[in-house]
C-alpha cells in the first residue's frame, strides 16, 4: 500500500528551528517526525511512500533519500510554490491514481492509532475517511462549587470528550483527485463538498497517542507522551 505525506509547509510557528530545517525533520524524542511516521506506516504494510515536499526540500531528500535505510521505497513530488494541502495532494496524482486506496498524512503528526480502521472505512460509494480525535483542551481547568465558590479540583488539560477534531490522517480512493484544487487546502475545498454528497466517513479514535507539532511546547508535550507509551 502507498501513503503520501504532506511535507511542504514552512513551519513558521516553529522558528527559529525551521529556519534551516523543514518541520517534518524536527526531532521529537531523538527521532524526526518523518521517521516516526514512516515506522508507524510500516506497521500497516505501507511499503511505498510519496513525500510532497516544497520548503527546504533538499534537506528532506538528503535525510530520507530512497527510503532504503528505513525499509521503504520513497518517491518525491515537488511544489515549486506553496499549493496548500489540497494542491499538495493533487501534485501526487500521477503516482497514486491507479491505487485502490492510499493513505495521506499531514507531515507534522505523531500518532499510534490503528490505521486499518481508517482503511477499512473506505467502502463502496465512499471517497475517503478522516481520522478524528477528541479535542484536547489547551488549558488546565478548575472545578468549583457553584453554591459557595470553593475550589474542588484542578484538572490539567483535560480531553473535551463531546468534541472531535480532524487528526490529519486520511484514506482515499483516486476519486479524491476530482475534488482537489490546484491550489488550496483540502479541509476548505474537497471535504465540505464530499460531506455534502455523503462520500466522506469519520473514524473516531479514543485514548490514543496523537499530537500535532506546531510549536516548541508541542514538541515537549509529544516527548512526554512518547515516554509514557514506552
Give tens-digit pLDDT for 161-178: 889 999 999 999 999 999
Give tens-digit pLDDT for 186-227: 999 999 999 999 999 999 999 899 999 988 888 888 888 888
- DSSP state, 200? E
Neighbours of 5 (CB within 10 A): 28
* Domains detected in the chain: 2-133+161-229 (3.90.550.10)
Residue 139 pLDDT > 80: yes
Give tens-digit pLDDT for 18-53: 788 899 999 998 899 999 999 999 999 999 999 999
pLDDT for residue 230: 46
Q: What is the mean pLDDT of the chain?
A: 92
pLDDT for residue 225: 86
pLDDT for residue 22: 92
pLDDT for residue 55: 87
Distance CA 42, CA 49 (A): 10
The pTM of the full predicted model, rounded to 2 decimals, is: 0.90
Active site residue 157: yes
Residue 3 pLDDT > 70: yes
Q: Averaged over 57-80, what is the pLDDT?
A: 93
Position with higher pLDDT, 81 vs 6: 6
- Where are the alpha helices (H) located in 100-208, listed in sequence order? 115-120, 190-196
Distance CA 73, CA 144 (A): 55
Q: How many CA atoms lie within 13 A of 142 on its CB side?
A: 6
Give tens-digit pLDDT for 71-130: 999 999 999 888 999 999 999 999 999 999 999 999 999 999 999 999 999 998 999 999
Nearest to 2 by CA among 172, 138, 163, 117: 172
pLDDT for residue 229: 56
Residue of 157, 193, 206, 217 marked catalytic: 157
Residue 228 pLDDT > 80: no
- Residue 207 main-chain phi, psi, to 5 deg: 55, 50
> Is the bond preceding residue 230 a cis peptide, omega within 30 degrees?
no
Max Cα distance, the chain (Å): 65
Cβ neighbors of 122 (< 8 A, separation 6 or more) are 101, 128, 129, 171, 172, 173, 201
Amino acid at each position: 500500500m502507498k501513503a503520501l505525506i504532506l511535507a511542504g509547509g514552512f513551519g513558521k510557528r516553529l522558528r527559529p528551528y525551521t529556519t534551516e530545517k523543514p518541520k517534518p525533520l524536527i526531532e521529537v524524542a531523538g527521532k524526526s517526525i518523518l521517521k516516526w511516521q514512516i515506522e508507524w506506516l510500516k506497521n500497516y504494510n505501507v511499503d511505498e511512500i510519496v513525500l510532497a515536499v516544497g520548503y527546504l526540500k533538499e534537506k528532506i531528500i538528503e535525510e530520507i533519500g530512497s527510503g532504503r535505510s528505513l525499509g521503504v521505497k520513497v518517491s518525491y513530488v515537488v511544489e515549486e510554490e506553496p499549493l496548500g494541502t489540497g494542491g499538495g495532494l493533487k501534485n501526487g496524482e500521477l503516482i497514486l491514481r491507479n491505487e485502490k486506496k492510499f493513505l495521506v498524512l499531514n507531515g507534522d503528526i505523531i500518532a499510534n492509532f490503528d490505521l486499518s480502521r481508517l482503511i477499512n472505512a473506505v467502502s463502496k460509494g465512499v471517497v475517503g475517511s478522516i481520522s478524528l480525535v477528541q479535542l484536547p483542551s489547551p488549558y488546565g481547568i478548575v472545578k468549583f462549587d457553584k453554591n459557595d465558590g470553593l475550589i474542588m479540583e484542578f484538572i490539567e488539560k483535560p480531553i473535551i470528550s463531546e468534541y472531535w477534531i480532524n487528526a490529519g490522517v486520511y484514506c482515499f480512493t483516486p476519486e479524491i483527485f476530482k475534488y482537489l484544487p490546484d491550489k488550496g487546502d483540502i479541509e476548505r475545498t474537497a471535504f465540505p463538498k464530499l460531506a455534502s454528497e455523503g462520500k466522506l466517513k469519520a473514524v473516531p479514535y479514543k485514548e490514543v497517542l496523537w499530537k500535532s507539532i506546531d510549536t516548541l511546547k508541542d514538541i515537549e508535550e509529544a516527548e512526554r507522551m512518547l515516554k509514557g507509551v514506552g
